[in-house]
Chains A and B, each alone.
Chain A
Amino acid sequence: MQVKDLLNIKGISLANKADVDKKIDGFYTCDLLSFALGHITNDNVTMLSVINSVNIVAVASMLNMSSIILTNGVIPAPEVIEKANLENIPVLSSNLSSADLLKEIYKYEAIL
């Protein structure tokens, strides 16, 4: 799966300019960055979260994540978009909760 595939899922939109051809090797949902730092063990993970802060972009960059999805209707802040553009990390958003969005993603992944 690639980041651009996520854009085919209803309600997911892209908030910045970054490489959507990046591949996704797993998902992680978490709202505490140190948990992400301590538990994400591979590259190319897409993280679902409500943390609307430049720090999520910094952590995504540290861990070579493929993209970030802000859930629950959180609209990415301008500074988040700016930093994500600099780091070339796609930021997506959705009105669904992280749990409900993952269900949709897995349903879509099954038909890919």
Chain B
Amino acid sequence: MEKFTYKIEAMDFEDAGYISSKVKKMLEHDNVSKSIIRRVSIASYEAEINVVIHSVGGYANIYYDKDSLKLEFIDYGPGIESIENAMKEGWSTASQIDRENGFGAGMGFPNMKKAADELLVDTSPSGTKVTISFKLGDANAS
């Protein structure tokens, strides 16, 4: 299994999406099915943006082999006050600047949950770890 690690800067809207784009290109290169790539792209972009918008910064670990893909988005705080609320469509704590950048729909975690095969969220004031897993079993389907 290959492992890649990328740093994520807080409030760096310019580079937000860099990791998701890397992952998408990697899967496209390996001919993973389009429907899986679409789900991975949605979930990874939402998770990456969450670190940019809501945290003080962090990093992502990507674990990849032909059967599975696991994305860990880890930040250094301040944590999610209510996971229950974060999972609800429309609930958002995004700021005015975030909204001007097109965020704040309150769809981040709902989109991740829908797209992923498995979503785990572990949060405390010192940081949050979002783990998103995908099965790539039917990698040759289109």
Query: Using a CB–CB distance below 8 Å, which chain A residues touch chain B?
Result: 31-35, 37-38, 43, 49, 51, 53-56, 58-59, 61-63, 79
Contact = CB atoms under 8 A, between A and B. Distances in A.
Contact of B108 (A34, A49, A59): A34
Interface stretch (B38-46, B66-74, B132-140): B38-46
Contacts of A62: 17, 20-21, 24, 41-42, 45
A53 B17 contact: no
Contact of B111 (A38, A54, A58): A38
B141 to A, nearest CB: 16
B17 A56 contact: no
A35 B102 CA distance: 10
A33 B105 contact: yes
A53 B13 contact: yes
Interface string B80-108: 00000000000000000000111111111
B85 to A, nearest CB: 15
A-B interface, 9 closest residue pairs, ranked by CB to CB distance from nearest: A58-B17, A34-B107, A32-B105, A51-B102, A34-B105, A33-B102, A62-B41, A53-B101, A38-B111
Nearest to A58: B17
Nearest to B92: A34
Contacts of A32: 102-105, 107
14 contacts: A32-B104, A32-B107, A34-B107, A37-B45, A38-B107, A55-B16, A55-B49, A58-B16, A58-B17, A58-B20, A59-B17, A62-B20, A62-B45, A63-B41
A6 to B, nearest CB: 22
- The interface centre, meaning the residue of B102, B103, B110, B114 with most chain A CB atoms within 10 A of its CB, is B102
Interface in B3-21: 13-14, 16-17, 20-21
A40 to B, nearest CB: 9
Contact of B21 (A31, A43, A49, A61): A61
A84 B25 CA distance: 16
Contacts of B107: 32, 34-35, 37-38
